[in-house]
Amino acid sequence: MAARVLTQVFNGLSLTATLDAALPDVASAKDRAFVQALTFGTLRQFHKLDFILAQLLEKPIKDQEIKALALSGLYQLAFMRVKSHAAVSETVAAVRTKTWAKPLLNGLLRNYLREQERLVAACQLDSGAATSHPKWLIHRIQHDWPEQAAQILAENNRQAPMVLRVNSRQTDRDRYLQLLADQGIAATAGGFSPSSIALENPVPVDKLPAFAEGWVSVQDGAAQLAAGLLDAQPGQRVLDVCAAPGGKTAHILETQPLLQELVAVDIDPQRMRRVDDNLQRLKLDAKRVVGDAAYPQSWWDGRAFDRILLDAPCSATGVIRRHPDIKLLRKPADIDALQAAQQAILEAIWPLLATGGRLLYATCSVLKQENERQVAGFLAVHAEAKTIPILADWGEARPLGRQILTGARDMDGFYYALLEKT
């Protein structure tokens, strides 16, 4: 199963979507956990494992499924607490009809065990293998953050914590912490949001108390900062652009129940269904619109908004630790295309903001091209726009906005800039 999931990722599908489709076919919870650990781990260490695999082969493996088996077998040997003989035999046994691959996998995995020390040393001489990142991304991060780059790359390869957001319309943090303690789930109040709880160890959401009743959601601490920064007030009209899957939409509604209206817009009908599901579970309501944020004339009713959240489409380089497939799926040319898309949306949405209103620009990226340079370019052509300084004890103050680097205070990498229309 893990090899089939990895093969689909190699062919361009996201890990989240592939696992969501595959895991229901895995019978036991233990086996599902193993498949998840193996796929996430293999992708986190892909560039290191791929380098090692190349050292063990005379010519590359063209069959993607067999390559996936080889990489997942190497991951078990190098990083998991699986006995060596079991990892080798199970990997070989996973070959079904392609019997030609059995001796190949058996030989290369056993060769790895014999040459492990040499291969690990060789990895340290190659930046892509040493950090398990594509070299173009290493160079981008080193250029933008020369002093912090090594830490960012290391954090990208660590497992992210599971963080919860308590629905303040249903309960409060102290009460929910007690519910967790009653069920033996270790957790602490954490982060910079008054609704944030960090779990000591991740658990399936169906094991969280009153999850189905909407008392709590899963959301990283960095993402939870958006609602507070937007600071929506009673009676205001709020727009959430690129809203799916709805975590920030819900948090705005949880923190300010007296809005005149919240309009959530997303271009993807399937992702908008996730917004519907989340709001229904949380017992919240918003106007949902399937539409292109870059062309608001097709869905805007002409009434200005007092607050706009633009959670812009981005490289997602700040959430690699949660989505390690980004390191494989994202390409250098994507950054310019994403910057252009962000600029188009920002330009299209700005006229919808009322005079005196505020727009919060957000990305889950650590690349300056998508963040502070994007905002600088916008301000250069909009004299009626000014930045509101974000004064906080999280992240790094930038000339424009504030940047959280991946892993800082155990949060995902995020950028925020608050703009006001004068």
**Does an H or E element contain 93, and which?**
helix 84-93
pLDDT band at 172 (very low <50, low <70, confident <90, very high): very high
pLDDT confidence of residue 355: 98
Domain boundaries, the chain: 2-132, 163-218, 225-421
pLDDT confidence of residue 165: 98
Q: What is the pLDDT of residues 5-19, one digit of tens each?
A: 999 999 999 999 999
Residue 328, classed as helix, strand or coil, is: helix
Token representation of residue 81: 């607490």
Token representation of residue 64: 């993607």
CATH code 3.90.1560.10 for 163-218: no
Active site residue 123: no
Share of the chain above pLDDT 70, in %: 100
Is the pLDDT at 333 greater than 90? The verdict is yes
Separation between Cα atoms, residue 302 and residue 380, nearest integer Å: 26
123 and 137 Cβ atoms separated by less than 8 Å: no
Other Cβ atoms less than 10 A from the Cβ of 181: the count is: 11
pLDDT band at 132 (very low <50, low <70, confident <90, very high): very high
Q: What is the pLDDT of residues 252-279, one digit of tens each?
A: 999 999 999 999 999 999 999 999 999 9
Is the pLDDT at 190 greater than 90? The verdict is no
pLDDT confidence of residue 12: 94
Backbone angles phi, psi at 139, to 5 degrees: -65, -40
Which is catalytic among the residues 123, 242, 314, 364? 364
**Does an H or E element contain 155, and which?**
helix 149-156
166 and 215 Cβ atoms separated by less than 8 Å: yes
State how beta strands 163-166 and 196-199 pair.
antiparallel
Is the pLDDT at 203 greater than 90? The verdict is yes
pLDDT confidence of residue 191: 78
Backbone angles phi, psi at 108, to 5 degrees: -70, -35
The partner residues of 276 in beta bridges, in order of sequence, read none
User: Which of 3.40.50.1100, 3.10.20.30, 3.40.50.150, 3.40.250.10 is the CATH number of 225-421?
Assistant: 3.40.50.150
Q: Cβ neighbours of residue 373 under 8 Å, at least 6 residues apart?
A: none
Burial annotation 322-334 (CB, 10 A radius, 16+ → b, else e): bbbbbbbbbeeee
Is the pLDDT at 96 greater than 90? The verdict is no
What mean pLDDT is predicted for residues 33-49? 96
Amino acid found at 380: A
State how beta strands 287-290 and 385-388 pair.
unpaired
Q: What is the pLDDT of residues 398-421, one digit of tens each?
A: 999 999 999 999 999 999 999 999
What mean pLDDT is predicted for residues 23-40? 90
pLDDT band at 101 (very low <50, low <70, confident <90, very high): very high
Q: Exposed/middle/buried for 398, CB within 10 Å: 0-12, 13-18, 19+?
A: middle
Q: What CATH number does the domain located at 2-132 have? A: 1.10.940.10
Tallying the residues shown for the chain, one arrives at: 422
Alpha carbon separation from 365 to 150, 215, 222, 317, 368 (Å, rounded): 16, 29, 12, 5, 8
pLDDT band at 82 (very low <50, low <70, confident <90, very high): confident
pLDDT confidence of residue 90: 93
Other Cβ atoms less than 10 A from the Cβ of 250: the count is: 29
Long-range contacts of 23-32 (CB under 8 A, 24+ apart): 25/1, 26/1, 29/204, 31/1
Q: What average pLDDT does the structure give for the chain?
A: 96
pLDDT band at 318 (very low <50, low <70, confident <90, very high): very high
Is the pLDDT at 72 greater than 90? The verdict is yes
Cα separation of the two ends of the chain: 56
Nearest 5°: the CA angle 133, 136, 140 is 100
Query: Comparing C-alpha atoms, which of 71, 72, 75, 74 is closest to residue 61?
Result: 71
Amino acid found at 341: A
pLDDT band at 29 (very low <50, low <70, confident <90, very high): confident
